[in-house]
């Protein structure tokens, strides 16, 4: 069995002298003067052609107890002297830190290999052995990207397989520190099973964890308590799964906060329990986002735009995004629809999706209808055009069914604006 370079010092420290002599006897004859006895030794004493003893004179060496105790007792004196003169290092070689070790195949039993002492990390090695050692690249102490740690972390590797986008997570230094300290089997697997039981599909886990990586720092029992609270409020399992998908941070909020948010919308908007539940199912970000935009928009609808409370209730239950829409967009859209297109409040209330449409699209289609003489939005008059059709249908259908014109004519008109 061939010994590797890292096993040689361990083997050399426990090998018996008998193994050296047996290996030497495998050769058919002694080496000629100036040649090495065994392959691998780079320096041996010069041997005489008559008796193969050193010409410079025999010099005795004191051996360790391990070597002395292992010498064969039935060998002749000449064989013992020969073994000492040829196998023991010279005085100059003994002073060196490390001697070159032969790389021949020694016939050692498996039991002897198992009994070898472990290699000490402080064991000196030769320069040739050092350059043959292949070491793994060092783990960087600090980095701006998680890519440097993926090859060293089983947790990061499995998260990538799940579809987690590490390039987005690494923008948060606390996220990197959290994930690198987690064990996949102990800390992550149980959260994944919980999300699966909740109703998330395999292809939804990656996007969810990319946004809410902090869920791994949550206690599993607390997560179950929050789900139980939502169930106590008559949210179905499908509703909870939909809310968690659309608002990944939902389960990171305590029961007290979730209860306060539900109470706020029910009281502020004067909605029934069922309508409040339907509202947050359609827009669960209402439970996780800031309440300031909601409060501000409620004032805008009442004070600036002039809608009544029941009209506001009707619009936000149809289009929940109106509660979090940009204030400037709301006022500009209302100003154009109400003051330019001359559409009254009660018609706008019936088609609140106008606030969820790009104002540029509304302007382009309205001006084209004005150009054709077909801009008629009063339901009491002929050729009435509802706001729903004005903003919801594609350009080709709008031109064919509403404007009675070709798509090319509409595109040419847009170039004149």
Cβ-contact 87, 38 below 8 angstroms: no
CB within 8 A of 188, min separation 6: which ones?
155, 158, 159, 182, 216
Residue 384 belongs to what domain range? Answer: 357-416
User: Does 176 score more than 80 pLDDT?
Assistant: no
250-228-188 Cα angle (round to 5): 60
CB within 8 A of 41, min separation 6: which ones?
100, 102
> What is the rounded distance in angstroms from the CA atom of residue 113 to the CA atom of residue 136?
26
pLDDT band at 277; cut points 50, 70, 90: very high
Classify residue 44: in a domain, yes or no.
no
Classify residue 270: in a domain, yes or no.
no
CB atoms within 10 A of CB 333: 21
Query: Across 64-207, where does the E strand assignment appear?
Result: none
Cβ-contact 90, 45 below 8 angstroms: yes
Classify residue 394: in a domain, yes or no.
yes
Classify residue 243: in a domain, yes or no.
no
Number of domain units in the chain = 1
CB atoms within 10 A of CB 362: 19
Classify residue 70: in a domain, yes or no.
no
Global pTM value: 0.60
Q: Worst-scoring range by mean pLDDT, 106-120, 169-183, 223-237, 315-329?
A: 106-120
Classify residue 395: in a domain, yes or no.
yes
Kindly state the average pLDDT of the residues 333-354: 95
Classify residue 377: in a domain, yes or no.
yes
Kindly state the average pLDDT of the residues 159-167: 83
User: Does 27 score more than 70 pLDDT?
Assistant: no
Classify residue 111: in a domain, yes or no.
no
């Amino acid at each position: 069995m061939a010994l590797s370079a890292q096993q040689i010092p361990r083997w050399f420290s426990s090998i018996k002298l008998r193994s050296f002599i047996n290996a030497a006897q495998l050769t058919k004859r002694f080496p000629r003067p100036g040649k090495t006895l065994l392959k691998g030794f780079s320096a041996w004493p010069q041997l005489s052609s008559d008796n193969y003893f050193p010409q410079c004179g025999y010099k005795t060496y004191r051996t360790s107890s391990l070597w002395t105790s292992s010498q064969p007792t039935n060998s002749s004196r000449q064989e013992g002297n020969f073994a000492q003169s040829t196998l023991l290092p010279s005085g100059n070689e003994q002073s060196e830190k490390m001697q070159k070790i032969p790389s021949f195949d020694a016939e050692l039993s498996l039991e002897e290999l198992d009994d070898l002492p472990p290699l000490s990390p402080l064991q000196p090695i030769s320069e040739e052995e050092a350059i043959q050692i292949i070491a793994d690249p060092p783990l960087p102490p600090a980095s701006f990207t998680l890519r440097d740690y993926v090859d060293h972390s089983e947790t990061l590797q499995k998260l990538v397989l799940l579809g987690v986008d590490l390039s987005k997570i690494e923008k948060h230094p606390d996220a990197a520190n959290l994930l690198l300290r987690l064990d996949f089997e102990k800390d992550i697997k149980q959260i994944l099973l919980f999300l699966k039981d909740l109703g998330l599909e395999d292809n939804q886990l990656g996007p969810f964890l990319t946004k809410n990586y902090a869920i791994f720092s949550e206690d599993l029992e607390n997560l179950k308590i929050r789900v139980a609270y939502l169930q106590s409020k008559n949210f179905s399992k499908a509703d909870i799964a939909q809310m968690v998908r659309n608002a990944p941070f939902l389960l990171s909020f305590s029961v007290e906060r979730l209860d306060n948010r539900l109470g706020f919308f029910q009281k502020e908007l004067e909605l029934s329990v069922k309508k409040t539940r339907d509202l947050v199912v359609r827009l669960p970000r209402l439970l996780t986002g800031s309440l300031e935009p909601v409060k501000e928009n409620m004032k805008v609808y009442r004070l600036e735009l002039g809608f009544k409370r029941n009209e506001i209730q009707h619009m936000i239950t149809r289009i929940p995004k109106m509660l979090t829409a940009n204030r400037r967009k709301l006022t500009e859209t209302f100003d154009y629809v109400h003051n330019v297109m001359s559409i009254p409040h009660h018609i706008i209330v019936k088609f609140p999706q106008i606030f969820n449409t790009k104002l540029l699209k509304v302007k382009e289609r309205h001006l084209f209808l004005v150009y054709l003489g077909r801009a008629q939005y009063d339901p009491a008059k002929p050729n009435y055009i509802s706001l729903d059709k004005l903003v919801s249908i594609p350009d080709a259908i709008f031109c064919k069914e509403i404007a009675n014109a070709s798509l090319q004519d509409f595109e040419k008109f847009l170039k004149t604006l």
